Structure 1
Amino acid sequence: MMSGGIRFALLGPVRAWDGATELPLGSPQQRTVLAALLLREGSMVTVDELVAAVWGDEPPRSAINTVRTYLSRLRTLLRDAATIVSIGGGYALPVDRAATDVTVFHDHVASAREARRLGDVAAAAASLRAAVALHRGRPLAGAAGPYADAQRTRLEQQMLAARIDLLAADVELGHGDEAIPELMTLADEHPLRERVHELLMLALYQAGRQADALAVYQDVRLLLADELGIDPGAGLQAAHRRILAADPDLVLPAVLPPATTGTPRTPAPRTGSQRPGGVAAPLRPRRHRRRTGL
């Protein structure tokens, strides 16, 4: 595979460089074709798939010819730095993994996963920090079409998962006070993600803010009841019990389960659990009512 000095960025605006020279990638549709090739990581993409990537289910009659025009322009633009090859009924763009920020991101996340499996939380945090640092704004910015929209959502979710895993590692390493600002931001942006609130509670407790940590629990408990008709999950409830008991182990590096960042749990019948009185706190994420964002 050839990459030379070529570099591609997809975790933000779609961009490419040949050495120090940034390449003019053309129209949003042409950038979508390039992104589709890069995200396939050297595997073949059919012409029909490229057409669907740009126009969805209603392509114009000239779609196939237009896609081939985009491919021809990209080949000319990339020249010897990288080669779009014809394979059967489609095309591929093989480049080194280090040449594309998305594959580098995935490699860092895989390294973090392996480090955590081996019990090396500090190494996992370092790999996750390198992964998160690749974020340059809205993924696939400048590309257009249904494929770009779907992949943008997927990449945003992967980046969010890496951010939460990194914050979990920081809390586990005893650096909860440093993680509080970002955790508060994430709790406000994703109010139904219980893991974020759990980490925020632990971080606040590590910083000596027990009342604030308990107030976060009360807010998210009421939010889950209002929005989904469910009680907090096991992780949130366990953190709440330990904070109420002033568990001294919570202020030390402790083994936490790997962060999970899936969609909120499916609403289930209420269990009729008791609702302890709320605890006032001067600083905590804003209370969200009738909001269902993830």
Structure 2
Amino acid sequence: TWTVSVLAAKLADERRRLDELQAGDLAVKATFELGYGQLEPVQARAFRLLGLADGPDISLAAAAAVLDLPLWDTEDLLEALVDTSLLESAAPGRYRFHDLVRLYARACADRDEHPPTEKAAALSRLLDFYLSTAARVYAIERPGDRLVDHLERTAYEGLAFTDRHQAQDWLYAESHCLLACVRHSAATPTTLRRAVDLLWASLDLGESGADSREFEATGAVVRDAARAFGDAKAEGRALMVLAGVHHTAGRFQEADRDAELALPCAEKADDPVPACWSANARGIIALYQNRFAEGEQHLTEAIERFREIGDDPGEASALCNLSRIHLAMGRTSSAIELALRGTEIYDSMGHALRGANGRYALGLALTQDNQLAAASERLQEALAVFADSRQRLWEGMTLFRLSEVDLAARRYGQAASNAEMALTVLRGIGGEWRRANVLTVLGRALYPLGQSGRAQAC
């Protein structure tokens, strides 16, 4: 006689779900209890603690952090749980619970884990593992960047990588688990700051567009938690993460708002890093909104702030952004000079990814100076790095800038081809303002090719 809505309501409460799933003598929970009762004590502990971790699955290395055991001991325990069908092997080196088994494992942790503080300790080790490893990924991608010096300290070591591709592979493979860990950790004041730092250190997930929606939703969770706990430092950093997400999505008004709100939080907490990046972000957003004088003020402030904390890559970013402001104001010579200075700083530090941003800015300035061959070379160099680094937004925008060079050189067919590739790469990322710019250039390329109908449609 129960309606579907009543059944759904009963099953919606995770704490009661297993108790509801029974009919007479038949009960899902009883089956799990039979398997759990046959486990050795160390296996039962592993089952309980691993069930606490959120995310679709868990890697062997992350599981070792939860259990505070060596990899080989952890693997033996996990494989034993697979043999008892309490755990599934999702892929080599990765494991997952069925949703109902996970609920049972958490109920066992609440009932059987002693001392109870071990549950929080296990999740703290997992958070440390993700933060320490993400910080190493960030450092490989951005050598010399001072953010890693200002992250919360961790007590548990993460993974080390031999090259940037291996580091990138780890970050993207762990994205859903990592973001789930951030959301869970944001709910507790003692882990909130490490949670927001993990999100900031993983900003490639937001900038690349690979997991931008989940990344943005997680940023909002962290921001709201920081406000609820009255933690100005965590709030300032969360706001800068969200400003970056909005910038990538082409929501410039929202990006400027969050960057502006981040500054008083950073100053209240005496936290210099978000203060620097706030000024830098507001400067480039002012460029997009044609507020050039205001943008120049923000970027001049950003350069000074980065110099105060000895952040050379940050200074280079602000210099390259200032180059674009000068370019928009018709000061082409100084724009080239600023972009060169920024690029030289990046190159001196072996900063391939951000060096591509420098070449992007330099390519724009050289295009306006009618040095088209040199502009094309710089942009092609940037394109190769962006594509290799999975930076879809900047890969697409660089293709767009190459189409502008081709248009200026009257290579209309090549200009149309690059613009069409840019539209493909930017599908679902970058926002309508960027898409409109690419469509405009595509239309201008198609018209002299005799495709006036398509040109007008663009």
Specify if TM > 0.5.
no
Greater relative CO (CA pairs within 8 A, separation 6+) = 1
Q: What TM-score, normalized by structure 2, do the two folds share?
A: 0.27
Bigger Rg, structure 1 or 2: 2
Higher percent of residues as helix: 2
Q: What TM-score, normalized by structure 1, do the two folds share?
A: 0.40
